Amino acid sequence: MLGEKVYFRLAMRQPDPKVASVPLTLFLGDKEIGRAT
């Protein structure tokens, strides 16, 4: 619903301490609208 936050969560099966972040790109239709952090 518009106005509500969307939360993304990712769990690694084999946690790797070196992986501290993963870029997440958001598209509205085919247009890139930003990157979530």
Binding site for another protein (CB under 8 A): 1-29, 34, 36-37
Shortest Cβ 29–another protein spacing (Å): 6
Shortest Cβ 14–another protein spacing (Å): 8
Shortest Cβ 31–another protein spacing (Å): 10
Q: What angle do CA 36, 27, 31 make, to 5 degrees?
A: 130
Q: Which two tokens stand for residue 8?
A: 């993304």
Exposed e or buried b per residue across 13-22, where buried means at least 16 C-beta atoms within 10 angstroms of its C-beta: eeeeeeeeee
